[in-house]
Amino acid sequence: MLEQFEKTGEDALADLKKVTDLSALEEFRIKYLGRKGRITQMLSQIGKLPREQKPQAGQLANKIKNEVTGAFEQRKNTLLQSQQQTGELIDVTLPGKPVNIGKTHVITQTLSELLEIFGRMGFAVAYGPEVESEWHNFGALNMGPEHPSRDPFDCFYIDDNVLLRSHTSPVQIRVMESSKPPIRIVAPGRVYRPDTVDATHMYMFHQLEALVVDEGVSMVDMKTTIEQFIHTFFGPETKWRFRPSFFPFTEPSAEVDLLLKGKKGKESWVEMGGCGMVDPNVFDAVGIDSEKYTGWAFGFGIERLAMRKYGITDIRLFFENDLRFLDQF
């Protein structure tokens, strides 16, 4: 009887060695460890033995059973592991990897909203190149080579006559060169300036330009449009003002300030950008009859609009690509 037990154990261990996949392992389990398996049967034989033989047989049978189950478990683990490594086994109950759904940048979102608002007011969208000719960026805008107002703008030259545009106003020129009045466009895009970087300045930022040219266009049209825009974008209670200013390409010119609550609820005037009635010299430069037509234009900083709308206090946050910031919008 004991020899038979030994034989069962040896057979089992030898069979287990031949098992190389999980289905063979299952066959093995049924053959030896299942309800009618050889090991199970071996154990049930002990009960039938005469009392004095029981302890010895029991001990041996238990030892063999433990050996075989131990070896079986080990084999099972190795097989599972190697299958997982080769990717054959997929645990469908594991939680999935979260899919990162992309979204548009807060500046792009702001831009879409701006284009939407101006679209509703009948403005078409125009684009111009970021690498711009000196003529479009300065000359045609009534800023001759010696004009002092070039100073804060003059930068990033590619050669003597080509530079990274310092404002979106050259798009005004391009539109007037290529189309006849009536003109009613907004032009969004990146601009570049030799500004020292701090919380409110960047060497690159975005502007939204507007240009309206038609017969009988007056400053009232400009003021109404800007007011409607501000009240739509910031809310109907928002206070704003024109502050007299100067730009070579508009006459008269103004700066648009918003009265906004800053930190600690204190209100202060914040500059959003410039505007004015198109200077007749600009019309002359593009061949539009300045006796017949008038027009107005503005250029607003998109970052400034977004900062004020969302309470962002540092312009650098827009461009650092920190998802903790970007994910909030």
Binding site for ligand PHE (CB under 6 A): 167, 169, 247, 250, 253, 273-276, 297-299
CB of 316 to ligand PHE, least distance (A): 20
Nearer to ligand PHE, 142 or 250 (CB): 250
Nearer to ligand PHE, 5 or 298 (CB): 298
Nearer to ligand PHE, 72 or 298 (CB): 298
Residue 145: asked if its preceding bond is cis (omega within 30°), the reply is: no
| Strands 124-125 vs 183-192: parallel, antiparallel or unpaired | parallel
Handedness of CA 303, 305, 309, 314 (dihedral sign): positive
Q: What count of other Cβ atoms lies within 10 Å of the Cβ of residue 60?
A: 17
CB of 218 to ligand PHE, least distance (A): 16
Nearer to ligand PHE, 64 or 302 (CB): 302
Helix 54-85, helix 38-46: angle, nearest 10: 160
CB of 193 to ligand PHE, least distance (A): 9
Distance between CA atoms of 204 and 101, rounded to whole angstroms?
Answer: 28
CB of 279 to ligand PHE, least distance (A): 9
CB of 299 to ligand PHE, least distance (A): 3
E strands, 31-171, are 124-125, 131-133, 157-159, 162-164
Nearer to ligand PHE, 72 or 192 (CB): 192
**Closest by CA position to 61, among listed 27, 12, 14, 26:** 12
